[in-house]
Structure 1
Amino acid sequence: MIARLLTIAVLSLIVGGAAYAAPVVCPPGSDNFPPFYDDATLFKNAIASVANVEPSNQRLTGITVPHHLLAADLVALGFRAASGFRYKRIIILSPDHFHKTHKLYATTLHGFDTVLGPVAADTNAVRRLETNSDMIEESCLFDKEHGVRAMLPFLHHYFPEAKIVPVAMSVKARRGDWDRLAEALKPIVDQDTLIVESTDFSHYLPQHDARRFDQQTLNMLAAGSLDGIAALRQPDHADSVGALYIQTRLQRELFGAQPLVVANENSQEHTSDYVERTTSYVVALFGAFGPGFNNPARPKDRINYLAGDVNFGRAMKKILVRDGVADRIVDSVLALTGSRPLIVNLEGVVLPNVPEAIDDMTLAMPEGLAVDMLKRLHVAGVGLANNHAYDLGPSGYAETLRALDEAGIPHFGQGETLALADLDLVGLTDIDTNGSKNTDLLTPALLDRLLHENAARPVAAFVHWGREYKTEPSAREDMLADQMRLRGVSAIVGGHPHVSSEAIVPLAGGDVAEVYSLGNFLFDQNAERSSGSMLELRVFAQGTIFTRLIPLPNYFETGRK
């Protein structure tokens, strides 16, 4: 069994995809293809390894998993995440590894036998797909195509009643061809369909290059950029860019679904021996993730949340002291974060007693309320690099630091680093004290604080910049973002405008993920003039990250109802 897996892995890593030596054979008549693997142990062990991962409590419409069985646990992870619901049809998108299709795409009416049980073909759906005979052929290549065959034992275990539509994709297909296949697939994709993209990612690269290419791919996925995905290189980024493109397009257009990457590993992580050139693996879930989503995750995943402007004073204080309001807000936030670490931008000064005569544009908040809310929200870090931290001068700033230190709440100001478990956050502000027209505080020396010695450890900039109520960066913010990129940051997360960006933007081909503004988190402005989002930032062992933007309700208005 292991020898056969190694042979398949070696063959699939040959640059240029040399043809598989053994001929492919079609079963007689309407018989199933015989089993491709002869030992069930690998599959059973992988299934057992993820048994404690809770399946998604919201219906998934697609998953992306590897097909190298060196990472069999990751294949099981993807199927396990989807296993909370039933599906009648499963479409498998796979590369044609050994160049066996004569047309752009191949499928088959034959079912498959596996070491865990049979998997039937959805013959009606296959016949409908094969009406596109100019680009899709009936083929025997699935006799040896591990991009499909590696999926089937897992599919039988988790979805024994589902029927499949396998599709193998030629490396010759280009974006226009991918669009044609997407249109051909649409009539057979419904609410009872799960689309499984069988794809391995960066190929034949030293580990440091693999990490960079993986990060570019993850950022294009996070942004949902079809143009960006289409520009990825095969096999540097993935062994089937077409499958990734079609999955993303169908998920968006048919389900309004977004991707959530829950694993990104490198083949080096699966052996103690040095691997000169590696293969990378991604597990992605696709769904319309709404309130109450349980966000399946392995214990080793490092997940943090970043949120925007917070002030527990002024009208927000009056809301939070009402019976039950603070409880409702805390419950809502923890339902989104799963009580994982949260980092916020604290706008204003924390004082034991807030003077009654303080003006509305000087932001100050009572220590007891602020500390209590920060602790209840599981805040693991408070950003103080903003234009309100010095509203009461150096003495007010010192009072804020004292209150946070006594409460054991970490903080980071201008140019300072908050060291999380697998991530460094650097606080930066380009804006002077409240009311100032200056937006030129960030100097090259301050930006150099983003340069950290451990290049394998991701660094994110938590930056206060721009103009209030403007959702687009100016030329200065674009310049600053490029300077941060050149200093090796993995993500740029902004605030100050009080309105949220609607999307993650990949910079420089995907090297960096930028969210220009998270807007408000807990701030006394209504939805007519403000908005807010939370950024989920997941760090993987190889130092790559995946970001997901989560729209937030206006908690100020929620508390007033």
Structure 2
Amino acid sequence: MALTASLLLLAFGPAIARDCEDAARPIPSLYANETPFRDAIEAADTTPAAATKLSGITVPHHLLAAHLIARGFEAASDATYRRVIVLFPDHFRATRGMFATISRDFETVFGRVDSDEEAVEALAAVAGAPAVGAEACLFAEDHGLQAMLPFIRHHFPDARIVPLAISIRSKRKDWEAAAAALAPLLDDDTLVVQSTDFSHYLPHYEARRHDQQTLNLIAAGTFDQIALLRQPDHVDSLGALYIQLKLQRGHAGTTPLVVANENQQQYDPLPVAETTSYVVIQFGRFPDDVPAPDAEGTRFLYLAGDTSFARAMQDALLREPAAERVAEAVLRRTGGRPLAVNLEGVILPNVPAGIDDMTLAMPQDLAIAWLKRLNVAAVSLANNHALDLGEQGLSETRRALDEAGIIHAGQGETIRVAGVDLVALTDLNVNGSYDNDLITADLLAGIANGAGDRPLVAMVHWGREYADTPGPREKFLAEALARRAVSGIFGGHSHVASSEMQALAGGDALHLYSLGNFLFDQTAEKASGAIVELRIFEQGTFFGRLMPLPNLFDLAQEAAGQQVGISSGDR
């Protein structure tokens, strides 16, 4: 059950001073004991700084998850801010309007936090006049704000605060108005803190599903869908989440990076009937070629598209300057973490001379060395080139991968890698065939991931070459996979990467139609590629991030200093 303010007071100190109505004095602290804040801050001291200056963070406000609050603030603490805007839910429904703010200073267990009076006055259009008298006690009593103040005072002692309480009665038109009013306050010296807890009052298995829906919608960033999330099933202040995302995407031009997702059940050895979930998000202009930072309780898996060490790609990678350039470009983006790819073609100890151009056969020594060099942990063999030399060729490929310790999955097979269940599927038959509907109802019916305590992710080979959006068949299949509890659907075959991810079925599945090429002998004139970074959380959810790739074949040719043969296509 979610901790109430009264329970927090019993745990962490006496009640508020009786003078919250006295306009001549700062708002008193809800907490008298600094120990839980100090302990959390010290424990988070090893949290890596964000890769860029952050414009916002999302953190919990339950002190049960104080370690996550501390990590969120620690990641931003290498920068300085002169203003901190705090978006928080009006837990006790004390707000008469849709919003409330106040221009008084605040006492905390670490000292005073000053108000940004000018900025507070600027919010009058949406929040009305700053709170006075009894209404001011909202800001003394609500842990949504009060739990933030010690962290703000510790990390940003010179920053001034702009608190905005958001009524649970507020609607999308109100959130849009608030975002418009706050937007002029955003600058490089302002940090927007969204103080929210996520899924409430659900058993863990339901909370986990709601968390995944929310994470997928945040990754896809579609406001029409985000506005349909439910309070409190998904989040305790949909208004705070919406306003934060609107400010960050629409005005600051930043993107979200979810670095933590935990549930109260993870802290309790006994079953909890009504749980609360917690999410930590960083907002910034994150470089596309820098992997997300490590964090306690998370693992990573990277997904990449069409990969073949045959034909001209083989010639390019045999030149060491080219090999170094390609390896550096990939490892800079993955950090050497586990990678899964769609392996197009057959691995053979010796490739026969005179093999035709549409038969993708790769020498074992080169292919295995490269898979290991890039830390490829798993490959999908569900594609239209896996049977280029028949069942014997596929058998040779599996043997080579087994000997190298690289797990693999053929049509409809599910493998476990880096904390996810990964299912491989192809809708396309052998190269040159027009049998392009191999994913049948029976095959879909066989897809399952046991207890559901790990994300189920699909790598799917489908669609038309050189298309970056799905056709009717692919849309149908994606929706069918979402109904089968597949929470991530990532496609291949088209050689062209899609530019954005989508959330299907209210967020049940995160969908990228095409990863495009990874290592394939086609230039940027006709092909492109992307990597998806999956951060997998211990509770069995993930956050997906799309990272565009340079054309690795072009990089190899440039580094080699010469043009090598270029494929005219897949088939």
TM over 0.5: yes
1:316 matched to which residue of 2?
A: 313
Of residues 2, 26, 32 in structure 1, which corresponds to 2:21? Answer: 26
The Cα offsets for residues 232-252 of structure 1, whole Å up to 9 and x where unpaired, read as 111111111011111111111
SS state of the match for residue 514, structure 2?
coil
The answer to whether the Cα contact below 8 Å between 2:301 and 2:418 also exists between their aligned partners in 1 is: no
Q: Distance in 1 between matches of 2:251 and 2:464?
A: 37
Deviation for aligned residue 1:26: 3.1
1:390 matched to which residue of 2?
A: 387
SS state of the match for residue 194, structure 1?
strand
The answer to whether 1:67 aligns with 2:61 is yes
The Cα offsets for residues 156-177 of structure 1, whole Å up to 9 and x where unpaired, read as 2222222211111112211111
Q: Distance in 1 between matches of 2:466 and 2:267?
A: 48
SS state of the match for residue 191, structure 2?
strand
Deviation for aligned residue 1:22: 10
The answer to whether 1:93 aligns with 2:87 is yes
Of residues 200, 205, 212 in structure 1, which corresponds to 2:202? Answer: 205
Q: Distance in 1 between matches of 2:539 and 2:320?
A: 46
The answer to whether the Cα contact below 8 Å between 2:301 and 2:533 also exists between their aligned partners in 1 is: yes
Give 2:21's aligned amino acid. Answer: C
The answer to whether 1:170 aligns with 2:170 is no
The answer to whether 1:106 aligns with 2:103 is no
Q: Distance in 2 between matches of 1:325 and 1:6?
A: 64
The answer to whether the Cα contact below 8 Å between 2:186 and 2:252 also exists between their aligned partners in 1 is: no
User: Which deviates the most, 342-351 or 49-58?
Assistant: 49-58
Q: Distance in 2 between matches of 1:209 and 1:251?
A: 29
Moved over 4 A (4+): 3-6, 20-24, 131-139
Superposition pairs of residues 257-336 of structure 1, within 5 angstroms:
257-291=254-288, 293=290, 295-336=292-333
Give 2:457's aligned amino acid. Answer: A
1:250 matched to which residue of 2?
A: 247
The Cα offsets for residues 96-148 of structure 1, whole Å up to 9 and x where unpaired, read as 11122222211111121211222212222222223556587565121112111
The answer to whether the Cα contact below 8 Å between 2:340 and 2:376 also exists between their aligned partners in 1 is: yes
The answer to whether 1:236 aligns with 2:230 is no
Of residues 15, 26, 40 in structure 2, which corresponds to 1:46? Answer: 40
1:35 matched to which residue of 2?
A: 29
Deviation for aligned residue 1:4: 8.4
2:115 matched to which residue of 1?
A: 121
1:473 matched to which residue of 2?
A: 470
The answer to whether the Cα contact below 8 Å between 1:9 and 1:68 also exists between their aligned partners in 2 is: no
Q: Distance in 2 between matches of 1:403 and 1:444?
A: 32
Give 1:173's aligned amino acid. Answer: S
The answer to whether the Cα contact below 8 Å between 2:120 and 2:130 also exists between their aligned partners in 1 is: no
Deviation for aligned residue 1:332: 1.9
The answer to whether 1:372 aligns with 2:366 is no
The answer to whether the Cα contact below 8 Å between 1:385 and 1:412 also exists between their aligned partners in 2 is: yes
The answer to whether the Cα contact below 8 Å between 2:468 and 2:497 also exists between their aligned partners in 1 is: yes
The answer to whether the Cα contact below 8 Å between 1:105 and 1:135 also exists between their aligned partners in 2 is: no
Q: Distance in 1 between matches of 2:263 and 2:342?
A: 34
1:15 matched to which residue of 2?
A: none
SS state of the match for residue 175, structure 2?
helix
Deviation for aligned residue 1:304: 0.7
Q: Distance in 1 between matches of 2:418 and 2:262?
A: 18
Deviation for aligned residue 1:391: 0.9
Q: Distance in 2 between matches of 1:344 and 1:293?
A: 19
SS state of the match for residue 228, structure 1?
helix
2:449 matched to which residue of 1?
A: 452
Deviation for aligned residue 1:153: 0.9
User: Which deviates the most, 318-327 or 372-381?
Assistant: 318-327
Q: Distance in 2 between matches of 1:448 and 1:375?
A: 34
Give 2:29's aligned amino acid. Answer: P
Q: Distance in 2 between matches of 1:185 and 1:411?
A: 50
The Cα offsets for residues 158-202 of structure 1, whole Å up to 9 and x where unpaired, read as 222222111111122111111111110011111111111001111
The answer to whether 1:184 aligns with 2:178 is no
Q: Distance in 2 between matches of 1:392 and 1:554?
A: 28
The answer to whether the Cα contact below 8 Å between 2:125 and 2:181 also exists between their aligned partners in 1 is: no
Of residues 482, 505, 508 in structure 2, which corresponds to 1:508? Answer: 505
Change (3 A) 1:465 1:260: same
Q: Distance in 2 between matches of 1:422 and 1:197?
A: 29
Change (3 A) 1:24 1:197: farther
The answer to whether 1:339 aligns with 2:336 is yes
The Cα offsets for residues 303-361 of structure 1, whole Å up to 9 and x where unpaired, read as 11111011112111222122322112212212211211100011111122323312221
The answer to whether the Cα contact below 8 Å between 1:59 and 1:85 also exists between their aligned partners in 2 is: yes
The Cα offsets for residues 475-504 of structure 1, whole Å up to 9 and x where unpaired, read as 222222222222221211111111112222
1:362 matched to which residue of 2?
A: 359
Deviation for aligned residue 1:9: 9.0
1:534 matched to which residue of 2?
A: 531
The answer to whether the Cα contact below 8 Å between 2:16 and 2:31 also exists between their aligned partners in 1 is: no
Deviation for aligned residue 1:84: 2.2
Give 2:254's aligned amino acid. Answer: A
The answer to whether the Cα contact below 8 Å between 1:202 and 1:235 also exists between their aligned partners in 2 is: yes
Q: Distance in 2 between matches of 1:120 and 1:325?
A: 56
User: Which deviates the most, 422-431 or 362-371?
Assistant: 362-371
Q: Distance in 1 between matches of 2:449 and 2:250?
A: 41
The Cα offsets for residues 53-110 of structure 1, whole Å up to 9 and x where unpaired, read as 2111212111111101111011111111112222221111001111222222111111
The answer to whether the Cα contact below 8 Å between 2:57 and 2:281 also exists between their aligned partners in 1 is: yes
1:426 matched to which residue of 2?
A: 423
1:7 matched to which residue of 2?
A: 7
The answer to whether the Cα contact below 8 Å between 1:24 and 1:143 also exists between their aligned partners in 2 is: no
What is the percentage of aligned positions where both structures have the same residue? 52
What TM-score, normalized by structure 1, do the two folds share?
Answer: 0.93
Deviation for aligned residue 1:471: 1.8
Q: Distance in 1 between matches of 2:52 and 2:219?
A: 19
The answer to whether 1:58 aligns with 2:52 is yes
SS state of the match for residue 318, structure 1?
helix
Q: Distance in 1 between matches of 2:475 and 2:288?
A: 33
The answer to whether the Cα contact below 8 Å between 1:53 and 1:296 also exists between their aligned partners in 2 is: no
1:13 matched to which residue of 2?
A: none
The answer to whether the Cα contact below 8 Å between 1:130 and 1:137 also exists between their aligned partners in 2 is: no
Q: Distance in 2 between matches of 1:372 and 1:295?
A: 26
The Cα offsets for residues 447-475 of structure 1, whole Å up to 9 and x where unpaired, read as 23322322222211111111111222222
The answer to whether the Cα contact below 8 Å between 2:501 and 2:511 also exists between their aligned partners in 1 is: yes
The answer to whether the Cα contact below 8 Å between 1:103 and 1:136 also exists between their aligned partners in 2 is: no
2:397 matched to which residue of 1?
A: 400
Give 2:495's aligned amino acid. Answer: H
Corresponding pairs, count: 550
Q: Distance in 2 between matches of 1:132 and 1:424?
A: 47
1:439 matched to which residue of 2?
A: 436
Deviation for aligned residue 1:294: 5.2
Deviation for aligned residue 1:8: 4.4
The answer to whether the Cα contact below 8 Å between 2:113 and 2:149 also exists between their aligned partners in 1 is: yes
Give 2:32's aligned amino acid. Answer: D
The Cα offsets for residues 205-255 of structure 1, whole Å up to 9 and x where unpaired, read as 222221221111111101011111111111111111011111111111222
2:563 matched to which residue of 1?
A: none
Give 5+ residue unaligned stretches, structure 1.
Answer: 11-19
Superposition pairs of residues 220-235 of structure 1, within 5 angstroms:
220-235=217-232
The answer to whether the Cα contact below 8 Å between 1:519 and 1:532 also exists between their aligned partners in 2 is: yes
The answer to whether the Cα contact below 8 Å between 2:59 and 2:69 also exists between their aligned partners in 1 is: yes
